[in-house]
Amino acid sequence: MKKYRNIIIALTCGFVLGSSVATVQASSILGKIFKGGAVGAVVNVAAEPLNKGINTLTQKYGVGTTDATKVVPIISVGDGSRAGAAQVSGPIDKVNQCKAALLIEQTILGIRAKILLPVDNINYKNINRVQGVGVCASLDVKI
């Protein structure tokens, strides 16, 4: 299993970035549920390589951080589906409290807003915002 680790990580990252997502009809609720669950599973498996990749990229452009970072799934308000991944950043004790990033989409004064908040639970009905932590990157696939 150890020799297949890099292959699994590469395939997982490709899936998260949308290059290996199977086509599902937009009206297929089961397809959306399957893809949402798959994205959540992929994020859990690929969190560390994705985190290292984002940190390497930001360092390359001279905008890295000295704060702790980690990649967590993005959950969407309304149905709690997992829609991608986000990197959170802040003090290590606060970052360790983060389990997901909550995505709230709303139109405000005719402008579409996408709000990402670091939260302490993947169950959107029982979450708290983690103060002192910010979302610094997001990765998503169309569900």
pLDDT digits (tens, 9 = 90+) for 56-90: 999 999 999 999 999 999 988 765 566 789 999 99
pTM of the shown model: 0.70
Q: Extract the tokens encoding 13.
A: 């990252």
Spatial separation of the C-alpha atoms in residues 85 and 36, rounded to whole Å: 11
Task: Count CA within 13 A, CB hemisphere, residue 39.
Answer: 31
- Contact between 71 and 86 under an 8 Å Cβ cutoff? The reply is yes
Could you tell me if 118 and 138 are in contact, meaning their C-beta atoms sit under 8 angstroms apart? no
Please give the average per-residue pLDDT across 84-102, as a whole number.
96
Sheet containing 68-76, strands listed edge to edge, beginning at the edge strand earlier in sequence = 111-119, 100-108, 68-76, 82-90, 134-140
